[in-house]
Structure 1
Amino acid sequence: MGKHLGLGAVGVFLLFGCAAHAPAEVRRSSEPAIPSISSSRTTTPSRAEPRSSALTPERAVRFRRVLELRFSPNGSRLACVVSEAKGAAVETHIWMADVRSGDIHPFTDSPKSERAPRWAPDGRSLAFLSSRGGEMQVHVMPADGGEAREITSHEGGVSDFRWAPDGKSMAFIAYEPDANRKPDAPQVADRPQDVPRLWTVDLASKTTRPITRDSLRIDEFDVAGPGHLLAIASEQPKSETWNTAIYDIAMADGTTRLLTRPAPPFSDLLSSPSGTRFATVRTRDRGPIGHDLFVQSASGHEEARNATAKIDRAVRNARWQNDAVVVARVANGFRNTLHRIDLRGASTPIELPHSAAVFDVARDGTIAFAGVDFDRQAEVYVKPTAGPIRQLGHLQEGWDDTPLSSAEVFRFQSFDGRSVEAALMKPPPSAPKSAEKSPLVLLVHGGPNSNFSAMYYWFGAWAQLLAARGYQVLMVNPRGSTGYGEDFMKANRGDWGGGDFKDLLAALDTVLARGEVDPERLGIAGWSYGAEMAQWAIGHTPRFKAAVSGAGVFDQFAEFGTQTDPTTDEWHFGTPWEQPETFLRNSPFAFIRNAKTPTLILHGDADRNNPVGQSKALYRALKRLGVETELVIYPGEPHGPRKVKNQIDILERMVRWFDTHLSSRLASP
C-alpha cells in the first residue's frame, strides 16, 4: 500500500516501553504553559506502598505482542514470534509452545531480534531470520534447543526465505552484493543491482548462487513442490505502477514462466502443501488493496476462484490445512474472525471467544491463535478439532493491577443513510471525575483502507490512556475502512474529507445526542491518514478545541512526488498532472486558512511514506495564521515510531496537549 499506514490493523508498530527522553527537535508557536506529566516506572512495590494501577505512557507501551504463529509439521509444537521491550530497545524473539502440555517459553534470546520462523520439513530444526550478526541472515537451530547456526552471510541481508522440500537447501530474497551500497554513497535511482532477487543456498556447504536475473524484481515467493518456486514479480521494476504478475520459476536454472496476471493489487502468495494450488489476496476488479482470497492451480490451466466471495470481508491472511481446505482470517468490523474454506464445498466460520490477531492451522485442523480485545492483551490459545479451547501458558507480565477499558461497539446512520460502525470507550470507575459531562477525543485510524480492531496496540494505547484520565474516546470505521465489504472499502475513492469525514461527524453527533459529553471540550487525533483527517477537521469546523496530527499528509501534490510508493494514491486520485483538481480537493492545505484549533504536530524525519516536509508545511501555515501549534520531529524515525523513548514521548505529549486544552476541570489521577 505504501503511503498511509493502517494503524487499526496489525502493522509495523512494535511498540513497548522504557524511560522517556526528549526528541532532538521541538518547535513551538504561541505555546502556553503546559503542566508536566510524570512517567513513573513500573517497579516492584514495597509492603508499605501499595502498587499503583494508573496507566502511564511508560506502562502503556510495555507489553508483549504476538506477531506470528507456526505449527511444527506434526502439530506438537508451536513457534511464536513475540515482540517486547528489553532495556531501551524493542526486541522480537521466538518463543516455543508445547501444544500438549501448554508450556510456553523463550526459544531464542540473542541481543538482537529474530523473526520469520520456518520449520524444516522433518520438524527436527527451526530456521529463522536474525540480526544477531548485524544484518538479517538465515539461522537454523535444533528444535530441542541449542546453538543457532548461521546459514547465509549475504551482503545486505536477507528479507525472506523458504526451505526446499528435501530440507537440503533454501531459497531466499536478497539484493545483489554491492560494495557501493553504503549510506554515504551517491544514491542512483533504479539501479539493476538494487532489485530484490531470488537466491539459493546449500545448507551443507553454505554455497550461494542466484536463481533469477536482476531485471525481474521479486516481491514475494513460495515453494511449489520440488525444484519449483512461485513468485509475485515485476519485469518492469523501474515503473512505479501496478505491473506485477505471478510466475513459475525453476530453482535449477531460473527459467521463468508467466502463470497469471491478476487484477492489481494482490499479495500474500501461499502455495498449497503439495504445490498443486496457490492462493493470493486480491481484488475482484482493481485496488485499492487486496480484499478476497483467490485460489487457482499452479499449472495455470484453470481460472482463479474467489474462495471468499460470499464472506465479502477483507482477508488479512490465510493458511492451508491441506490441498482442499484453507483457513482465512478476515476483518469483520472490529473483530478478526476465522473461516474454514473447503474448496469442494462451503466455508464455515470458526467460533472463537476473542478476536484473532494472528493464527496458524495444523494438518489435523487444530487452530492456534493470539486472542485479543480492547481490554485484553494478547495470549496464545489452541482450538483442537474436538474439545475446549485452551490457553498456552501466560505471555503478559505485570498487567494484573492495570485494568483496561472495554468499548461499546455500535452502528449509526450517516448523512446519506449508510450504516457505519463505531466504538466508544468510556472512563473506568477509577478515572478522575470531570464536571457533569466528559470531554471526548475522536481518534481516526490510518489507511484509509484499514480499520480499528478490538485489540491493544500502540495507537490503541492512545484510547486507553485518555479513558484512564477521564475522557470518552470515539473510534469510527468510516467509509473506506476494511471489514465491511469491498464496496464499502472503495466508497471514499477520490473523496478523502468528503463522505468519510461526514461519517466521523455523524458518529460524533450520535454520541453527543446521549447527553454525556461536553460539546465544548472535543478533540481529534490520528496518525497517517488519521492525521490527515485531523488536519482536514481543523480547516472545516471550529467544533474541535484541540488536535493532534502524527505523520500526516498536508499537500497531496508534494506528497505524490516524494513518497516511496505512489500506486495507491494513483488509484484514489490519478496523477497530479492529469487530475490537479482532485489533488487540490483532497489536500488539507487548501482549507487550512480556516483553522483556529490548537494543533500538536508529530513526525519522524526518516518517514518515506509521508515525508516529514508535510508536517513542516502544516506547522508553517498554522504559525503564519496565528494558530497555537507545536511541531516535534523525531530523528531517525520512519512512518511509525520504533524507538521506545519516542513512543513514550509521543504518548506523553498527546495526553498533555489534550489535558491542557480540554480537561482543565479534571482532577489529577
Structure 2
Amino acid sequence: MTNQQDEEPSATSPFHDLDSFVDLPRAGALALSRDGSRLVLAAATLDSERTRYVSALWEVDPEGQRPARRLTRGDKPASSPVFTPSGDLLFVSARPRPGSSEELDAPALWVQPAGGGDARVLAELPGGVAAPLVSDSGTLLLASELLPSATGPEHDGELREARKKAKVTAILHEDTQVRLWDHDLGPAAPRLLVGELPEKSSPEGEEACELRDLTGHVGKALHEEGGWDLSPDGRTVVAAWIRPEAKGSQYLALTALDVATGERRTLVDDPAIEHGVPRISPDGTQVAVPVFTRFTPEDPGDCSLRLVPLAGGQVRDLTAGWDRWPGTPAWTPDGSALVLVADHEGRAPLWRVDATTGEVTRLTADDGAYSDPHVSPDGRWVYALRSALDSPPAPVRVPLDGEGPYQPLPGPAEALGRPATLPGTLTEVHATAEDGTPLRAWLSLPHDASAEHPAPLLLWIHGGPMASTNAWSWRWNQWLAVARGYAVLQPDPALSTGYGIDFIRRGWGQWGGKPFTDLMAITDETERRPDIDASRVGAMGGSFGGYMANWVAGHTDRFGAIVTHASLWTLEHAVRVSDYAYAFAKEFTPEIVEANSPHRFLDDIHTPMLVIHGDKDYRVPLGEALRLWADLRAKDATPDGESPHKFLYYPDENHWVLTPNHAKIWYETVFAFLSHHLLGRPWERPSLLG
C-alpha cells in the first residue's frame, strides 16, 4: 500500500494548533432531492463565542462543479434535512422565528420553500421534533416525545406546564432501562405522528401541518434514535419495536403500522434475533433490514441483511453466505439492488447487494469508510460521506456500476478555506497472532520519522469492542499526536469487525485474552521498524479501549505511560449499573466477569496512568473511574501525597468529550502527561485547569 498523503504540510497545519483543529468544519447527515438536482448536508462549526458546535445546512453541487453554499445561519443547530416531493427542504431547529429573537422551547420542523424565501415553522410540538420522513405522496412522519398520560400534543403541553410550575423533575420508571448514554429516559417517550404536507408551499405561506398521534401511548416501544421507515405511498410505517422479556431484558421485533388507522401488526417477532433500521422497497412490497442473531456468553451471534414481505410471507436471508456485517441499506430506484456499508479489513466500503440473488459487489476499492448512502433517481450514482484515517468526512459520489473511483464534491471545508492538511503519512502494519491469525493496523507517522530520527510510539486501542479503526475521528484524532512528533498505531485486534465472524469469536468471552495478545503482537512488529523508537512507547484507549488500557497496565510494564478514558475497571460492577446492563447480562457469566476484570491485577500496575471520565457517562458510569482512581492512589501515593497518576474529571461531559474547549483541555492534558513520562519533559499543567 502507498502512503495516502505525500505532500509536506506547512508548519502551521490545523493539527499543530488546537484552536485551528477545533475550528475545522465537521460534515454530518446528507439529503438528496427526489429529482437528484439538490444535495444538502449538515455540517457543524463553532458558534460565535467558540464554545460549542452548531450544525448548519449546506447545499452541495451533485455534479461537483460549484462550491458549497450555506443555507442556514445562527447559533441554534439545524439538522435532519429531508426533501419533500415538490422540492421544499425540511429541517429541525429550535432557532427563533423570522423577525423574533426568542429561541423556540424545543426543536421544531421548518420548511425552506424550493422557490426561495425565509424558512418557516411547519410543525411545533411541546416534546420537540425528530427524524422527519416524507413519502412520495406527501405524507409526513416524525417523532416527538410525549408524557405517558398525554392524549395528544396539546395535552402533552398542558402536562409539561404543570410539572414545570410545580418544579417536579421526578420520573416514575416501569422498565428496567432508566438511562441511555448521557441522559435520563422518561418521563416522556417517543411516539410517531403523521400528517399531510400542504399541497403548495410559497415564500409567504404560513400554513402549518396538522399532526395526529399514530402510535398512542405504547410505553417504551420505539427506539428514540429512529428505527423506522415510511412507505413510498405513505400508507405504512415499519418500525423496529422494543419487546420486553424476562429479567429486565429486551429485544427488537419488526412491526408494521397502518397510517390511516394506527393498527399494528407484527412482521417478525423472534426473541433469538434483533432488527436494525428497516428500509421499505420503492414498490412498497418488501422491507430490507439488518438482522442480528442475539449473542450468548458462548457465541457473539452474527448479522445479515434480510428481506421481509410487507404483506406477510417467507423472510429471506439475502446475505447469509457473506461473512461481513451489513449496515442500514439504501434501495436502488428500480428495487433491483441495495447499497450499504460494511466494515472490511480496516476499511468500510460501499457494497451493492442484488435483491434477487444476494450477490455482493464491492463498489469502492479505496481505503475509505463510507456512510449515509443515497442513490440518485437515475440509478447512476451513490452519494455518501467518505472519510478515512487520513481524510475527514466529506461528500462524494460513486458510480453505482462500480466502474471508476469516487468523485469528491466541494463541501463546507473548501468553501470556508479550512483544508485538513496532514502533518504526516499513513501506512499499514501487518503481524501474526499467537494462534497464527493474520493481524493488521494503521500506522500514522510524522514526516521526519526515520532511522536517524525515530518517533516515539503510541498504541491507540479502539472501543466497541466489536468495531474497527477505519474512519476519521474528531474525538480521538491521531494527527494531533503526529504533529507533536509521535507515531500512532491503531490496530484491529480480536473482536474487531470486518474480518469475519471467526475473528470476533477469537476474543468472545475473553476480553483479556486474544485481544490483549493481538495488541502486543502488532506492537512488537511495529517496534521493529527503524523509524520507531521502541524505548519510548505509550498506550491509550477509551470505552472498551479504556478497559483494555487497564488490562494492559496490569499485565505488562513495557509502556512508559497509559491513558485510560471512560474505562471499565471493576467489571462486575460496571456491567450491572451500565445503561446497557440488560445486554451485558446476556454476554457475561459470573465466571467470565471474574476472569476478565482488570481490578484483580491492581498490584501488578507499575505504569503511570492518566484516568479520564465524564460524570454524564452512563454507558460506563463514573464509579468505575472513582474506584480506579482510589485504588491507584491507595496503592502508589507517597506519604506527602505525590503520585505518578492523574485523574481528569468532567462534571458535565459524557462517554465522549464533545464541547470544543473541553476537547482542547483533553488533548492538552494527554499530551502533557505523555510528554512528561515518555519524553522526560517537566510536567506542565494546562492553564485552563487552574
Q: Scaled by the length of structure 1, what TM-score is found? A: 0.84
CA distance in 1, matches of 2:407, 2:461: 35
CA distance in 2, matches of 1:171, 1:602: 37
SS of 1:504's equivalent in the other structure is helix
Q: Which residue of structure 2 lines up, in the alignment, with residue 112 of structure 1?
A: 76
* Cα drift, residue 143 of structure 1: 3.0
**Residue 97 (1) aligns with residue 60 (2):** yes
Q: Which runs of 5+ in 1 are unaligned?
A: 1-48, 574-578
CA distance in 1, matches of 2:529, 2:93: 52
Q: Which residue of structure 2 lines up, in the alignment, with residue 12 of structure 1?
A: none
Amino acid at match of 1:410: V
SS of 1:541's equivalent in the other structure is coil
SS of 1:336's equivalent in the other structure is coil
Amino acid at match of 2:210: T
CA distance in 1, matches of 2:112, 2:644: 56
Decide which of 146, 167, 178 is 2:138's aligned counterpart: 167
SS of 1:532's equivalent in the other structure is helix
Mapping of 1:116-131 within 5 angstroms?
A: 116-122=80-86, 124-131=87-94
* Cα drift, residue 97 of structure 1: 1.9
**Residue 218 (1) aligns with residue 214 (2):** no
SS of 1:641's equivalent in the other structure is coil
SS of 1:317's equivalent in the other structure is coil
Q: Which residue of structure 2 lines up, in the alignment, with residue 293 of structure 1?
A: 305
Is contact 1:174–1:196 with CA below 8 Å preserved after alignment? yes
Amino acid at match of 2:385: A
Is contact 1:215–1:235 with CA below 8 Å preserved after alignment? no
Is contact 2:41–2:57 with CA below 8 Å preserved after alignment? yes
* Cα drift, residue 134 of structure 1: 4.0
Is contact 1:55–1:402 with CA below 8 Å preserved after alignment? no
Mapping of 1:567-606 within 5 angstroms?
A: 567-573=582-588, 579-606=589-616
- Structure 1 residues 238, 71: closer, same or farther in 2, change over 3 A? farther
**Residue 422 (1) aligns with residue 444 (2):** no
Q: Which residue of structure 1 lines up, in the alignment, with residue 375 of structure 2?
A: 361
Amino acid at match of 2:131: D
CA distance in 2, matches of 1:52, 1:387: 31
* Cα drift, residue 401 of structure 1: 8.3
CA distance in 1, matches of 2:242, 2:363: 36
Question: Which piece of structure 1 moves more, 57-66 or 331-340?
Answer: 57-66
CA distance in 2, matches of 1:410, 1:393: 32
Question: Which piece of structure 1 moves more, 463-472 or 380-389?
Answer: 380-389
Q: Which has the higher contact order (CA 8 A, sep 6+)?
A: 1
Is contact 2:105–2:126 with CA below 8 Å preserved after alignment? no
Q: Which runs of 5+ in 2 are unaligned?
A: 1-9, 96-103, 148-155, 176-185, 199-207, 637-642, 685-690
- Structure 1 residues 608, 278: closer, same or farther in 2, change over 3 A? same
Amino acid at match of 1:519: A
**Residue 272 (1) aligns with residue 288 (2):** no
**Residue 494 (1) aligns with residue 494 (2):** no
Mapping of 1:431-510 within 5 angstroms?
A: 437-459=454-476, 461=477, 463-510=478-525
Decide which of 283, 288, 292 is 1:283's aligned counterpart: 292
Amino acid at match of 1:142: P
Q: How high is the sequence identity, in percent, across the aligned residues?
A: 26
Is contact 1:550–1:601 with CA below 8 Å preserved after alignment? yes
* Cα drift, residue 172 of structure 1: 2.7
Amino acid at match of 2:85: P
* Cα drift, residue 82 of structure 1: 1.6
Decide which of 260, 268, 272 is 2:268's aligned counterpart: 260
Decide which of 670, 673, 678 is 1:657's aligned counterpart: 673
Q: Which residue of structure 2 lines up, in the alignment, with residue 72 of structure 1?
A: 33
CA distance in 1, matches of 2:134, 2:15: 47
After superposition, the C-alpha distances for 1:596-650 in whole angstroms (9 at most, x for unaligned) are 1111111111111111111111110000011521111112111111211111110
CA distance in 2, matches of 1:289, 1:108: 44
Decide which of 543, 553, 558 is 1:528's aligned counterpart: 543
- Structure 1 residues 567, 102: closer, same or farther in 2, change over 3 A? farther
* Cα drift, residue 181 of structure 1: 6.3
Decide which of 20, 33, 48 is 1:59's aligned counterpart: 20
Is contact 1:314–1:332 with CA below 8 Å preserved after alignment? no
SS of 1:92's equivalent in the other structure is strand
Q: Which residue of structure 1 lines up, in the alignment, with residue 409 of structure 2?
A: 392
* Cα drift, residue 343 of structure 1: 1.4
Q: Scaled by the length of structure 2, what TM-score is found? A: 0.82
Mapping of 1:340-359 within 5 angstroms?
A: 340-345=352-357, 346-351=359-364, 353=366, 355-358=368-371, 359=373
Decide which of 239, 244, 249 is 1:236's aligned counterpart: 244
Is contact 2:348–2:370 with CA below 8 Å preserved after alignment? yes
Is contact 2:451–2:531 with CA below 8 Å preserved after alignment? no
Decide which of 640, 649, 653 is 1:637's aligned counterpart: 653
**Residue 199 (1) aligns with residue 207 (2):** no
Decide which of 524, 533, 541 is 2:556's aligned counterpart: 541
Q: Which residue of structure 2 lines up, in the alignment, with residue 312 of structure 1?
A: 323
Amino acid at match of 2:112: M
Amino acid at match of 2:654: P
* Cα drift, residue 515 of structure 1: 4.6
Is contact 1:223–1:229 with CA below 8 Å preserved after alignment? yes
Q: Which residue of structure 2 lines up, in the alignment, with residue 156 of structure 1?
A: 127
SS of 1:645's equivalent in the other structure is helix
Q: Which residue of structure 2 lines up, in the alignment, with residue 410 of structure 1?
A: 429
Is contact 1:240–1:565 with CA below 8 Å preserved after alignment? no
* Cα drift, residue 173 of structure 1: 4.4
SS of 1:283's equivalent in the other structure is strand
Give the aligned CA root-mean-square deviation in angstroms: 2.9
Amino acid at match of 2:229: D
Q: Which residue of structure 1 lines up, in the alignment, with residue 179 of structure 2?
A: none
After superposition, the C-alpha distances for 1:277-305 in whole angstroms (9 at most, x for unaligned) are 11112235647587332222212202232
Q: Which residue of structure 1 lines up, in the alignment, with residue 150 of structure 2?
A: none
CA distance in 2, matches of 1:125, 1:554: 51
CA distance in 2, matches of 1:571, 1:407: 39
